Homo-oligomer: A and B are copies of this chain.
Amino acid sequence: MINQSDIERRYLAIKEQAEKSGYHLNPDEDFAKELVHGILTNEERYGFAACPCRLCVGPREENLDIICPCDYRDQDITEFGVCYCALYVSKDVAAGITPVSYIPDRRAPPGKCDSGDPKQTEVPEDEKSSLLQEGRPLLYPVFRCRVCGYLCARTSPPETCPICGAASDRFEKYLQ
């Protein structure tokens, strides 16, 4: 049985981890805690913290991409200001400057092929091992924080550098 103090404890742990890395939770605390309740329910049910807003079928290995925080969070925050559940939001949404909006699910439906999202595209093993070959692009570009030199491989730079706190426009494309 999940009780209120389990939810509070997990909510605080998630919030602390988010803030230390430059992420923000939905400013509507009751809404956020409802989602945390859903995460805890999934953890009891499946044995892992599956996204509370998505259908989870199969074992952990087949659902790694939707364990919260999911593989789609950061790109959704960049493009829409919120993740699919709206548990995580952009700085502007957190500050109440931009309203929360509802967004499409970036994950391909089970059994369907995904439309070109590199996170879903299966890369053949021999290609993976030759990523450094001339002329072959990387799976994701590497961004570099011009302030502290932090490197990360993502669709676009993070909203806030998790190391030094610099804003996304302080990043440059370093490798692609």
Contact = CB atoms under 8 A, between A and B. Distances in A.
Contacts of A176: 128-129, 131
Interface in A105-150: 119, 128-129, 131-134, 138-140, 142-144, 146-150
Interface string A148-176: 11111110001000111111011001111
A67 B82 CA distance: 27
A74 interface: yes
B64 A169 contact: yes
A125 B20 CA distance: 34
B174 A139 contact: yes
A138 B172 CA distance: 13
